Homo-oligomer: A and B are copies of this chain.
Amino acid sequence: MSSVQIYDTTLRDGSQAEGISFSCEDKIKIALSLDKIGFHYIEGGWPGSNPKDLDFFSLIRSHSLKNAKLAAFGSTRKASLAAENDPSILAILDSGVQVATIFGKSWDFHVREALGTTLEGNLAMIRDTVAFLKSKGLEVFYDAEHFFDGCKANLAYALKTIEAAQEGGASTIILCDTNGGSLPLEIKEFVELAAGRLSLPLGIHAHNDGDLAVANSLVAVQAGAVQVHGTVNGYGERCGNANLCSIIPNLTFKCGLETIPRENLAHLTELSRFVSEVANVHPDTRQPYVGMSAFTHKGGVHVSALLKDYRSYEHLPPELVGNRRRVLVSELSGMSNMLYKYKELNLQVDKQSPEGKRVLEEIKNLENQGYQFEGAEGSFELLLKKAYNGYIEPFTLEALRLMIDVKQDGTAYSEAIIKMRVGDRVVHTAAEGNGPVNALDNALRKALESFYPCIRSMRLTDYKVRVLDEKDGTGAMVRVHIETGDGHSSWGTVGVSENIIEASWQALADSLAYGLLKGDNLEQKKDDKEE
């Protein structure tokens, strides 16, 4: 089976994305997870351009990587300096890596305009830089920047530049679609041309400006490339780089090629979400293979077919990439989706019963107000329990007051006062917090912990605010989504209101009520009462 090397540039090209800024610790964490899943190369940074990157290369040395080789990025030497005197080239040597990835110009327009040198001068810069780094014992990859645009503008010259890199001693030539505007069949043509001209292995480095980076990478492999450069989740400048989370399963499951070990693909979704968390970027729910919605079904026709055979509307089993199947309850879905959901929750329900119809009615009504039970299984199950009687609420609100003071110097004080009924008792207490929602959370817990000690083990793991109709400005409805865990499992809850405090209250109260409902937590309270 043929194999393709995976070269990750999340830490360098990925950090060029709008809204992304990695600390050195972030980069270490990501590098270790890329190594663990089996990527072949990790580009750690550009030591000659960003001094912070040298810290990364120095810190990473105390960790031993199992699978990946580290690469440092850099440009060809300055026109006016010899490679051995160019500080940015010397910074690569200082970084202590085994692989140097050097980019140079392939497009005659760029040589003249951006670099301000002659075509011959550029060839010498490429040749010298590669040769110097190779002479120092490094493996050198040559990134042919703007290769495809260069081919379209001046084919003969573009080919000369990669020949210069081969002469200098590069071990692999990576053809870059730097502006991301090339089409799959153009990529195919020029990769085949380059392969015919060089004796070296080729790689592909694509950007997504035409929404074609994944396709362009696949086609390049089909045309002979054996190394793919990309980033986790496709993070990168402008529209991003080629998305390795799509390319790897496509190459593995669709093209039958070897990339990372096949069993490690089951950790791909985890890797994707980990990197988005470290990058502090909202995961793209629709992202192929690894997105929250990637195997999520809403249309009633699809769901009723899925109930018969999962292959009906899925291109591959979600488990292969560590993702999971979800079925949504919504107005489009009808009874098939409800039944699927009941089955998932182990509830016995007669779909013709008045309760069944009433719940469906109420869900539609709440969804119209902006509730979304997708990802809020806790609130959804509480709703069902309430509809089917026999459920006693573990606590109810009597009154709630929040006071926030902001002083001239910007310091703020938040206090929550809460009055609640628990069984036949009334608790009235107060707490402060570093913001109003935190104060509310603290007061609620303070009020309930003596009745339900197990609440101490429940931790908020995620708090999200979504302004529902942003154009209504500060008067808009907001939806608060909370994720809570108790060490064994986690659950989502939701609240909606024009008032962020009220919405947060709903989601917080549901999160604890659902935590108590799970397992025997409610029994504990009942026993207390009987004593």
Q: Is A356 on the interface with B (CB-CB < 8 A)?
A: no
CB interface residues, A 172-209, toward B, < 8 Å? 178-181, 183-185, 208-209
Q: Is A110 on the interface with B (CB-CB < 8 A)?
A: yes
Question: Are A471 and B475 in contact (CB-based, < 8 A)?
Answer: no
Q: Is A239 on the interface with B (CB-CB < 8 A)?
A: yes
CB contact under 8 A between A437 and B18, given known A215-B215, A218-B183, A412-B499: no
CB interface residues, A 38-62, toward B, < 8 Å? 49-50, 52
Question: Are B239 and A501 in contact (CB-based, < 8 A)?
Answer: no
CB contact under 8 A between A185 and B294, given known A21-B367, A332-B15, A460-B474: no
Question: Are A475 and B50 in contact (CB-based, < 8 A)?
Answer: no
- How distant is A447 from chain B, measured CB to nearest CB, in Å? 14
CB contact under 8 A between A500 and B280, given known A243-B211, A288-B209: no
CB contact under 8 A between A218 and B184, given known A308-B114, A332-B15, A464-B467: yes
**Chain B hits for A254, CB < 8 A:** 181, 183, 210
Question: Are B502 and A406 in contact (CB-based, < 8 A)?
Answer: yes
Q: Is A141 on the interface with B (CB-CB < 8 A)?
A: no
Q: Which residue of B lies closest to A334 (CB)?
A: B49
How far is it, in angstroms, between the C-alpha of A267 and the C-alpha of B368 when the chains are bound? 31
Partner of A19, one of B372, B440, B504: B372
Question: Are B462 and A498 in contact (CB-based, < 8 A)?
Answer: no
CB interface residues, A 395-429, toward B, < 8 Å? 396-408, 410, 412, 414
Partner of A436, one of B210, B282, B470, B501: B501
How far is it, in angstroms, between the C-alpha of A291 and the C-alpha of B237 when the chains are bound? 12
CB interface residues, A 300-348, toward B, < 8 Å? 300-302, 305, 308-309, 311-316, 328, 330-332
Of the four ranges (under 10, 10 to 19, 20 to 34, 35 or more), the interface on chain A belongs to 35 or more
How far is it, in angstroms, between the C-alpha of A399 and the C-alpha of B411 when the chains are bound? 10
Q: Is A109 on the interface with B (CB-CB < 8 A)?
A: yes
Question: Are B293 and A17 in contact (CB-based, < 8 A)?
Answer: yes
CB interface residues, A 473-503, toward B, < 8 Å? 473-476, 478, 482, 497-502
CB contact under 8 A between A315 and B16, given known A246-B210, A405-B401: no
- Highest count of chain B CB atoms <10 Å: which of A277, A367, A407, A468: A407
- How distant is A114 from chain B, measured CB to nearest CB, in Å? 4
Question: Are A499 and B312 in contact (CB-based, < 8 A)?
Answer: no
- How distant is A353 from chain B, measured CB to nearest CB, in Å? 23
Question: Are B298 and A237 in contact (CB-based, < 8 A)?
Answer: yes
Q: Is A222 on the interface with B (CB-CB < 8 A)?
A: yes
Residue contacts A-B, CB under 8 angstroms, 6 given: A16-B298, A18-B328, A19-B293, A185-B222, A237-B297, A239-B288
Q: A210-B288, A238-B297, A240-B286 are in contact. List 19 more A-B contacts (CB 8 A).
A: A49-B301, A113-B312, A114-B308, A185-B222, A209-B315, A210-B250, A210-B254, A238-B296, A282-B282, A406-B502, A412-B502, A433-B474, A434-B498, A435-B498, A435-B501, A435-B502, A460-B474, A461-B473, A465-B500
